A and B are shown apart, each in its own frame.
Chain A
Amino acid sequence: MLQIDNLVFSYHKKKNPIFDGINLSIQPGAVYGLLGKNGIGKSTLLYMMSGLMFPHKGSIRLDGVEVKRRLPETLEKIFLVPEEFDLPAISVDAYVRRNSVFYPHFNRDQFNRYLTDFELEGTSNLAKTSMGQKKKYLVSFALATNTPLLLMDEPTNGMDIPSKSQFRKVIASGMNEQKSIVISTHQVRDLENMIDRIDILEGGRLLLDADTGTITSHLRFVKGVGEADTEGALYKVSTIAGYSAILPNPTGEESPLDIEMLFNYAIEAPDNLQRIFANPVK
């Protein structure tokens, strides 16, 4: 669906580029978790995927068409929920009337359902609602546009605890085989079980681009075990409940993926991680 080839970009000519040859293919039917440290370029990448910023080299194509051309046929297939944004000082209905026309598959019933899921009651002035409320309105609208590509930058930031749970429900019910959702996040715990595929951005490149099944077939995640059970661990931390560790997985035993541990391991030992995933599992 979306194809990124050899993407190069830098904010300052003299400094190292923030993207130094990124290749990524976004396929329908999956939720992508885009992870990376602060300032590594997660938001920049989402802006480029939506045509708001242009690559210096390389290409980003949606269904074969360069996104940076910003053709209506491309833009009607993409929706971006930025991390911070303002909403106009108009009612929900006016907002929908004004914006839904750009999205041929927008569905008002779906939108109303998401508002109900988020316990939003509608407002006469969107600009006066809190950041958390604004996020919930925009996420509801975004899902109801039914664009094949939905990009969300830190969507759970600013949401209270019940809203995060509602967010997961809304995503799970709004997802289908034709859609792909890319979510950048630091709050991995908020979205752990929602993500199908993990992309870790580090040092201008994608350190890891793999689906959760591939990850757990290469690596075994254990929690709350004794030190003896962490022998040969690639990564381990001591917790109150014992050790948590990432182990090699020669037998292909399935374990529940812990994204936070995976991310810490990736940042601590990027070369080792890449070596592990360079070899396909037998």
Chain B
Amino acid sequence: MQFKENQTIYLQIAERISDEILLGRYDTGSRIPSVREYAALVEVNANTVMRSYEFLQTQGIIFNKRGIGFFVSPDAKHKIKEYRRNEFLKNELPRFFMQLYTLHIPMEEIDSMYRQFIENLTSNPSNQQS
């Protein structure tokens, strides 16, 4: 696994597992690999992967059946999107706003561009992302 330079490893692994859940590699209710299996897969120590699993558990994305392993929660996909939405609003949007502000781009302009973007997306379903 190629890691990004400025984000902690355990969060990057949690993101990767979330992507795999969204893509259906791990189905709702199914067991995900053990901490050790996943550690070997991404070549990271087991304690780091344990942190990723604990994080996903706190977010309600996976749950632990004692002695059996970790499983994908029934509403995992919803939880992942909810988490990403909050992260976007909290971390990325302020940066975006700052750019708008410093470059003097009025919100109206953004609004019409966004409408255009949505229109393109819906008229051309191949562009659409899940």
Q: A172-B39, A173-B37, A176-B36 are in contact. Are A256 and B5 (CB under 8 A)?
A: yes
Q: How far is the CA of A170 from the CA of B41 in the complex (A)?
A: 10
Q: A172-B36, A173-B36, A175-B36 are in contact. Are A30 and B47 (CB under 8 A)?
A: yes
Bitwise interface map of B from 48 to 89 toward A, beta carbon under 8 Å scored 1, else 0? 100000000000000000000000000000000000000000
What are 15 inter-chain pairs, A to B, with CB distance below 8 A?
A: A30-B47, A31-B45, A168-B44, A169-B41, A172-B44, A172-B46, A173-B36, A173-B40, A175-B45, A193-B9, A194-B43, A216-B8, A224-B5, A255-B6, A256-B7
Task: Report whether B39 and A173 are in contact in the complex, using a CB–CB cutoff of 8 Å.
Answer: yes
Q: How far is the CA of A224 from the CA of B4 in the complex (A)?
A: 11
Task: Report whether A194 and B37 are in contact in the complex, using a CB–CB cutoff of 8 Å.
Answer: no
From B36, which residue of chain A is reached at the shortest CB distance? A173
Which of the residues A165, A175, A222 comes within 8 Å of B46, measured between beta carbons? Answer: A175
Q: A193-B3, A193-B48, A256-B3 are in contact. Are A172 and B43 (CB under 8 A)?
A: yes
| A66 interfacial contact with B, CB 8 Å | no
| A63 interfacial contact with B, CB 8 Å | no
Instruction: Please indicate the chain B residues that have their CB under 8 angstroms from the CB of A196 in the complex.
Output: 45, 47
Instruction: Please indicate the chain A residues that have their CB under 8 angstroms from the CB of B46 in the complex.
Output: 172, 175-176
| A61 interfacial contact with B, CB 8 Å | no
Q: How far is the CB of A189 from the nearest CB of chain B, in Å?
A: 12
Bitwise interface map of B from 7 to 29 toward A, beta carbon under 8 Å scored 1, else 0? 11100000000000000000000
| A268 interfacial contact with B, CB 8 Å | no
Interfacial residues of chain A within 214-252, with CB under 8 A of chain B in the complex: 216, 222-224
Q: How far is the CA of A194 from the CA of B40 in the complex (A)?
A: 10
Instruction: Please indicate the chain A residues that have their CB under 8 angstroms from the CB of B40 in the complex.
Output: 169-170, 172-173
| A73 interfacial contact with B, CB 8 Å | no
Q: How far is the CA of A194 from the CA of B3 in the complex (A)?
A: 13
Interfacial residues of chain A within 27-57, with CB under 8 A of chain B in the complex: 29-31
Q: How far is the CA of A175 from the CA of B5 in the complex (A)?
A: 26
Interface residues on B, range: 10 to 19
Instruction: Please indicate the chain B residues that have their CB under 8 angstroms from the CB of A165 in the complex.
Output: 43
Instruction: Please indicate the chain B residues that have their CB under 8 angstroms from the CB of A223 in the complex.
Output: 5-6
Q: How far is the CA of A87 from the CA of B37 in the complex (A)?
A: 31
Interfacial residues of chain A within 176-226, with CB under 8 A of chain B in the complex: 176, 193-196, 216, 222-224
Q: A223-B5, A256-B6, A256-B7 are in contact. Are A193 and B43 (CB under 8 A)?
A: yes
| A119 interfacial contact with B, CB 8 Å | no
Q: How far is the CB of B91 from the nearest CB of chain A, in Å?
A: 12
A-B residue pairs, 4 tightest by C-beta: A168-B43, A172-B39, A173-B40, A193-B44
Instruction: Please indicate the chain A residues that have their CB under 8 angstroms from the CB of B45 in the complex.
Output: 31, 171-172, 175, 193-196
From A181, which residue of chain B is reached at the shortest CB distance? B45
| A260 interfacial contact with B, CB 8 Å | no
Q: How far is the CA of A168 from the CA of B39 in the complex (A)?
A: 9
Q: How far is the CA of A194 from the CA of B43 in the complex (A)?
A: 7
From A29, which residue of chain B is reached at the shortest CB distance? B47
| A254 interfacial contact with B, CB 8 Å | yes
Q: How far is the CA of A195 from the CA of B47 in the complex (A)?
A: 9
Instruction: Please indicate the chain B residues that have their CB under 8 angstroms from the CB of A172 in the complex.
Output: 36, 39-40, 43-46
Q: How far is the CA of A171 from the CA of B48 in the complex (A)?
A: 14
Q: How far is the CA of A169 from the CA of B44 in the complex (A)?
A: 8
Q: How far is the CA of A195 from the CA of B36 in the complex (A)?
A: 15
Instruction: Please indicate the chain A residues that have their CB under 8 angstroms from the CB of B9 in the complex.
Output: 193, 256
Q: How far is the CA of A145 from the CA of B36 in the complex (A)?
A: 18
Q: How far is the CA of A135 from the CA of B14 in the complex (A)?
A: 33
Q: How far is the CB of B97 from the nearest CB of chain A, in Å?
A: 19
Task: Report whether B8 and A254 are in contact in the complex, using a CB–CB cutoff of 8 Å.
Answer: yes
Q: How far is the CA of A223 from the CA of B47 in the complex (A)?
A: 24
From B12, which residue of chain A is reached at the shortest CB distance? A256
